[in-house]
A and B are shown apart, each in its own frame.
Chain A
């Protein structure tokens, strides 16, 4: 069953790169939340708002890498 509700989804690649998505959280809180996870995983490769594939607005996607 697919997860629903406010949540963070992080995909960690076999090389340790991370792709973080925040769902169902309002804009300002979403930014604050996202910033905390950015710091955890290292340098940010790209960061952008995303609403695709999910109905909840104000989602944020973050990609980070360690290499």
Chain B
């Protein structure tokens, strides 16, 4: 009987994945190779999540995550969700920095995170009406 689950994700960048793993206390990036799961041996970039019995493996080419948590008995899916949240945050941060923007990260009460990226105009984007005089310079 197999408990392995495969799920599509947006995880396709290794440095961003490593940063997302680092955001979770107790999580650890294990490297690329064959992950030993209960009933499968997927090949990919593998990481251990806190409270999970088997490592999660992700194929960065497809974004496909393979994990073996036996419907939550061997690892809470909420932890994997928080990794996906962290990945989205770190991906946004990397893109903002690459484009010369800053990014503010605001924790919301419902567990969501709001990211605010001011556009300074250096990238050619033009504000409607030529700016609102608040110092954004566009």
Chain A interfacial positions (CB closer than 8 Å to B): 3-16, 18, 24-26, 29-30, 33, 36-37, 40-43, 56-58, 64, 66-67
Contact B131 A7 (CB under 8 A): no
Contact A9 B114 (CB under 8 A): yes
Question: Residue B117 at the A interface, CB < 8 A?
Answer: yes
Partner of B81, one of A8, A15, A43, A56: A15
Closest to B113 in A: A12
Closest to B133 in A: A5
Bound state CA distance, A5 and B108, in angstroms? 22
Q: Label chain B's interface by main secondary structure.
A: mixed
How many residues of chain B are within 8 Å of chain A by beta carbon?
Answer: 42
Bound state CA distance, A42 and B91, in angstroms? 11
Bound state CA distance, A66 and B10, in angstroms? 6
21 A-B pairs (CB sep. < 8 Å):
A5-B132, A6-B118, A6-B125, A7-B118, A8-B116, A8-B119, A9-B114, A13-B112, A14-B111, A15-B81, A16-B84, A26-B127, A29-B125, A29-B126, A33-B119, A41-B88, A42-B9, A42-B10, A42-B63, A66-B10, A66-B84
B9 CB → nearest A CB, Å: 5
Contact A26 B126 (CB under 8 A): yes
Kindly list chain A residues whose C-beta atoms are within 8 Å of the C-beta of B115: 8-12
Question: Residue B73 at the A interface, CB < 8 A?
Answer: no
Contact B112 A11 (CB under 8 A): yes
Kindly list chain B residues whose C-beta atoms are within 8 Å of the C-beta of A15: 81, 84-85
Closest to A4 in B: B134
